[in-house]
Amino acid sequence: MINQMVQINPEQALRLKELGYQLQQFRQKQRISLETVAKKTLIPVRLLAAIETGDIDQLPEPVYVQGFIRRYADAIGIDGVELANAFPAQTDLRASKASWRGTVQAQLRPLHLYLIYMVLVISAVSGLSYLLNRSSTPQLSGLDKTNTGTIAPIPKEAATVTQPSASSLLASKQPDVAPVLPTQQKSVRIGVTMTAQSWVRIVVDGKTEFEGVLSEGTQRAWEANKQLILRAGNAGGIMVSLNDSAAKRLGEPGAVEEVTFGANAKAAQVSPSETLTASSSNSF
């Protein structure tokens, strides 16, 4: 059994033992077997036994334990709603790390950087042009007249001296525009369809993208470059497809399952009725 990410607090553990004992005593008094209850509730026998003994290490998150208690009680003739409400399901989740998307660096785009670079270049060229205009001295004295009244020709060396203009300097300093590269194609893509309510956590390339409860009928999709990890508290209520392949059920109802999809995963053409478990994740 995979360790729970959300720990049951002491109060919940105590209430679970009390409620589990009540369920066990009533079931045995009615002479109902755990196998019979499992068929009615679709809850595995090992989870029903864990509820009766208060074994929290064998059970999923408290919100699912509360649902199991209600279904168990209804199956043996007890008011399931009242008994389930006696078990507190609220649990404080661990505070998630701040996302890098909120930082200043994440808000900058290549276009912004290019515009900033252009402003710096134009400012530098304008300053250089201003300094050249102030420090330059006249290279030609104009028209040099002789005593005879004729105009002296302009020396060849002086005629070749020209002062660079600001526009020519700006043209020489402008950077080449980088070509637009195509968007990188994601390597791993999964689609999720909820056939029953379940707690779900998605980890994309080492970062948690989603963690919470998805209701029945919800459809979601996630993409990753290298690796994508899917963990669910009710594996029987989730249909998963990899890279647009046929969807498969993640596991058994009420089971906690975790599946890792790698960059070298290949979509398998299988029947939608097949079940995906942690040991068969390579079939994707």
Find tokens 């607090």 and name the residue: 9
3-state helix, strand, coil in the chain (%, to 5): 40, 20, 40
Torsion of CA 43, 49, 50, 53, to 10 degrees: 150
Contact of 251 with 236, CB cutoff 8 Å: yes
Least confident range from 14-23, 140-149, 194-203: namely 140-149
Instruction: Write out the H or E segment, with its range, that includes residue 112.
Output: helix 110-135
Contact of 64 with 233, CB cutoff 8 Å: yes
| pLDDT-based confidence at residue 132 (cuts at 50, 70, 90) | confident
- Domain 10-85 and domain 188-283, same fold? Reply is no
Domain ranges of the chain: 10-85, 188-283
Please give the model's pTM, rounded to 2 decimal places. Answer: 0.35
In single-letter form, the type of residue at position 20 comes to G
Residue-wise pLDDT for 141-179, tens only, equals: 444 444 444 445 555 544 444 555 555 554 555 555 555
Residue-wise pLDDT for 46-76, tens only, equals: 999 999 998 888 899 899 999 999 999 999 9
Distance of CA 276 to the CA centre of its chain: 22
CATH superfamily of 10-85: lambda repressor-like DNA-binding domains (1.10.260.40)
Whether 213 has a pLDDT exceeding 80, the answer reads yes
Domain 188-283: state its class: mainly beta
Instruction: Write out the H or E segment, with its range, that includes residue 212.
Output: strand 207-214
> What pLDDT does 8 receive?
66
Two tokens, residue 87? 């078990």
With 0-12 / 13-18 / 19 or more C-beta atoms within 10 angstroms meaning exposed / middle / buried, residue 73 is buried
